[in-house]
Amino acid sequence: MRIAVLGAGSLGTIAGAYIAAGGQDVELIDVYQAHVDALNETGAKITGTTDFHAEVKAITPENMSGVYDLVLLLTKQLYNHSILQDLLPFLNDQSTVLSLQNGIPEEQVASIVGRERVVAGSVEFGATFIKPGVSELTTEFNRFKEYAFQIGELTGEVTERIEQIKKILDLVGGTHISTNLVGTKWSKLLINNAFSGLSAALNTEFGGVLDHEISVESAVHIADETIKVAHANGVEFADMGGFDIASLEVKSEKDIPERIQTLRDIMRSSRLLKASMLQDLEKKRKTEIDYINGVIPRLALEKGIPTPYNDMVVSLVKHAEETKELPVFDSNIKFFEELNN
Ligand SMILES: NC(=O)C1=CN([C@@H]2O[C@H](COP(=O)(O)OP(=O)(O)OC[C@H]3O[C@@H](n4cnc5c(N)ncnc54)[C@H](OP(=O)(O)O)[C@@H]3O)[C@@H](O)[C@H]2O)C=CC1
Ligand SMILES: CC(C)(CO)C(=O)C(=O)O
């Protein structure tokens, strides 16, 4: 099977390294020439909660050729339209595109590459790009080996191709097949909304969100808004890492201390994670905020559900994008303090 990792950044470097080390025919495709050169010359190095090295083959998109049987889509959602159009000549009827981006991009991906070709999933580990050739794994290694991906067919069927893709991703980390893909993507969206959104809006790692009383309470409210909007839109959450995400709903104010403790427990192995949106702000780039926290106010509008915490995250992250200045924790936490009171 000929595999492409399209977008070999923070995550793609890690996925590509382990797939190559597993003996698969895989190309890491990225526009960053210095990174592609380093990958070819010195291999892919994974630091952080592990220390791993693998020889890989990397190319820039102009050097793509032939047909890929499986493409792991790991570029940012912002550029899907042009990246997927450019991918079309390298797909045939049997090719599969595995959409692993955060958010819920599957309908857009299907509209460009064709529904039959699309399978999707969520990535449950964190990665930070360090320098050309090097990416850091930020999730505890044992957790990564147990819960790295949830993947599924758009129809929820357990097909031969999804089982085959599971075998390939198992070379990277623990991979589980979901029969409720929409629920899987929404469960990941909830974690992104609560933790990646606040990590970017407050310029801190997930541990920083968990440790401060105001930010952790805000994470509880962001999760709650996400659950209420999801339920109003007919979404049933899938378990994530064996945890029932819907149980984070706040039914009354009295639930809040317990929800805070639950978040601290379930996110303990993710304290080092730095949101990919924060990594974008550091590079003075646009983030995926419209496809992450931004999804909630859009869907809430027609249902009449208030979403002040997600709105605040969107507004603070967009402000940082516009000014190209990193958020300051001590200043931005005050906006959440006002919401909590
Ligand atoms: N990092 C994380 O912890 C997680 C990220 N995700 C999701 O995974 C996806 C990828 O995230 P992440 O790895 O952080 O992103 P990165 O920005 O680190 O990686 C994306 C890579 O794609 C490259 N790229 C841009 N345009 C093209 C193109 N036309 N062809 C090939 N490569 C291209 C970028 O190069 P350049 O930078 O030079 O533009 C970059 O190296 C996102 O949707 C994110 O939400 C999900 C879970 C965890
Ligand atoms: C939550 C995290 C870090 C990894 O799962 C992520 O998805 C992101 O920030 O983009």
Closest ligand 1 atom to Cα of 12: 13
Residues 161 and 287 in one domain: no
Task: Answer yes or no: is the C-beta of 178 below 6 A from any ligand 2 atom.
Answer: no
Task: Answer yes or no: is the C-beta of 192 below 6 A from any ligand 2 atom.
Answer: yes
Ligand lying closest to the C-alpha of residue 287: 1
Q: What number is the average pLDDT over the span 240-244?
A: 89
Residue 30 has pLDDT above 90, yes or no: yes
Q: What is the pLDDT of residue 260?
A: 98
Give, for ligand 2, the residue of 144, 273, 277 to mutate: max count of ligand atoms closer than 8 Å to Cβ.
273
Task: Answer yes or no: is the C-beta of 279 below 6 A from any ligand 2 atom.
Answer: no
> Among residues 145, 179, 213, which one ends one of the domains?
179
Residues 238 and 289 in one domain: yes
Residues 175 and 197 in one domain: no
Q: Are 235 and 228 in contact (CB under 8 A)?
A: no
3-state class percentages of the chain: helix first, strand second, coil last, to nearest 5: 55, 15, 30
Strand partners, 163: none
Q: What number is the average pLDDT over the span 163-178?
A: 98
Residues 22 and 103 in one domain: yes
Q: What is the pLDDT of residue 100?
A: 97
Residue 219 has pLDDT above 90, yes or no: yes
Q: Alpha carbon 96 to chain centroid distance?
A: 20
Q: What number is the average pLDDT over the span 194-219?
A: 98
Residues 27 and 156 in one domain: yes
254: CATH: 1.10.1040.10
Residues 26 and 165 in one domain: yes
Q: Are 5 and 26 in contact (CB under 8 A)?
A: yes
Closest ligand 1 atom to Cα of 123: 47
Q: What is the pLDDT of residue 194?
A: 98
Q: What is the pLDDT of residue 236?
A: 97
CA of 201 to the centre of ligand 1 (A): 19
Q: What is the pLDDT of residue 289?
A: 98
How much of the chain exceeds pLDDT 90, in percent?
Answer: 98
pLDDT tens-digit series, residues 47-94:
999 999 999 999 999 999 999 999 999 999 999 999 999 999 999 999
Residue 37 has pLDDT above 90, yes or no: yes
Residue 241 has pLDDT above 90, yes or no: no
Confidence of residue 269 (pLDDT cuts 50, 70, 90): confident
Q: Which residues contact 229 (CB under 8 A, 6 or more apart)?
A: 296, 299, 300, 303, 305, 307
Residues 107 and 191 in one domain: no
Residues 159 and 269 in one domain: no
How much of the chain exceeds pLDDT 70, in percent?
Answer: 100
Domain range for 107 is 2-179
Q: Alpha carbon 63 to chain centroid distance?
A: 27
Task: Answer yes or no: is the C-beta of 191 below 6 A from any ligand 2 atom.
Answer: yes
Atom 9, ligand 2: residue with shortest CA distance: 275
The residue among 241, 51, 254, 233 whose CA lies nearest residue 136 is 51
Q: What is the pLDDT of residue 156?
A: 95
Task: Answer yes or no: is the C-beta of 241 below 6 A from any ligand 1 atom.
Answer: no
Whole-number Å distance between alpha carbons of 179 and 8: 28
22: CATH: 3.40.50.720
Between vectors from CA 118 to CA 183 and to CA 150, what angle results, nearest 5°? Answer: 40
Whole-number Å distance between alpha carbons of 30 and 8: 5
Whole-number Å distance between alpha carbons of 133 and 9: 9
| Average confidence score pLDDT of the chain | 97
> For the chain, how many structural domains are there in total?
2
Residue 242 has pLDDT above 90, yes or no: no
ipTM above 0.95, yes or no: yes
CA of 66 to the centre of ligand 2 (A): 32
Residues 120 and 209 in one domain: no
Residues 222 and 256 in one domain: yes
CA of 196 to the centre of ligand 2 (A): 6
* Greater pLDDT, 302 or 223: 223
